[in-house]
């Protein structure tokens, strides 16, 4: 299983950032509006629609309030490179949104 990890600095209070990241059903409104256009929660997962039209099902494996960690694991491994590029775009959108808040 491919794992993708990114770190970046955000000029905002950590509590505010984690509150938005932890709100897994509001990805499209609180964290990356415009990059993600829709998000629907299901039991243990979310269905995410991206601005490019792609729709994916993301399993919610863990929300670690102590470490404030968000990790993306995906299959098949061959998708790691294109998904990593999308995650980089999402990180930029997240930084812009959270620093504006």
Which residue segment(s) compose the domain that 20 sits in? Answer: 2-100
Query: Do 19 and 100 meet the contact criterion of CB atoms below 8 Å apart?
Result: no
Which DSSP string do the residues of the chain spell out, in sequence order?
-EEE------SS-HHHHHHHHH-GGGIIIII-BTTEEEEEEETTEEEEEETTS-EEEEE----BTTTTB--EEESSGGGHHHHHHHHHHHHHHHHHHHHH-
Q: What is the CATH number of the domain that holds 73?
A: 3.30.530.20
| Domain count within the chain | 1
Rg of the chain over CA atoms, in angstroms?
A: 13
Higher-scoring residue by pLDDT: 4, 89:
89
Residue 2's pLDDT band, with cuts at 50, 70 and 90, is confident
Residue 88's pLDDT band, with cuts at 50, 70 and 90, is very high
Gap between the Cα atoms of 28 and 43, Å rounded: 19
pLDDT tens digits for 11-64? 999 999 999 999 999 999 999 999 999 999 999 889 999 999 999 988 888 888
Q: What is the pLDDT of residue 97?
A: 97
The answer, yes or no, to whether residue 73 has pLDDT greater than 80, is no
Q: What is the pLDDT of residue 40?
A: 97
The answer, yes or no, to whether residue 71 has pLDDT greater than 80, is no
Q: How many CA atoms, within 13 angstroms, populate the side-chain half-sphere of residue 14?
A: 6
At 79, list the tokens. 């998708």
């Amino acid at each position: 299983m491919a794992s993708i990890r990114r770190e970046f600095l955000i000029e905002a209070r950590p509590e505010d950032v984690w509150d938005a990241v932890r709100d897994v059903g509001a990805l499209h409104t609180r964290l990356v509006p415009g990059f993600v256009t829709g998000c629907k929660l299901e039991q243990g997962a979310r269905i995410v629609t991206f601005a490019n039209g792609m729709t994916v099902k993301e399993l919610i494996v863990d929300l670690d309030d102590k470490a404030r960690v968000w990790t993306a694991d995906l299959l098949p491994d061959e998708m790691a490179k294109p998904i990593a590029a999308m995650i980089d775009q999402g990180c930029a959108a997240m930084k812009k949104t959270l620093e504006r808040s």
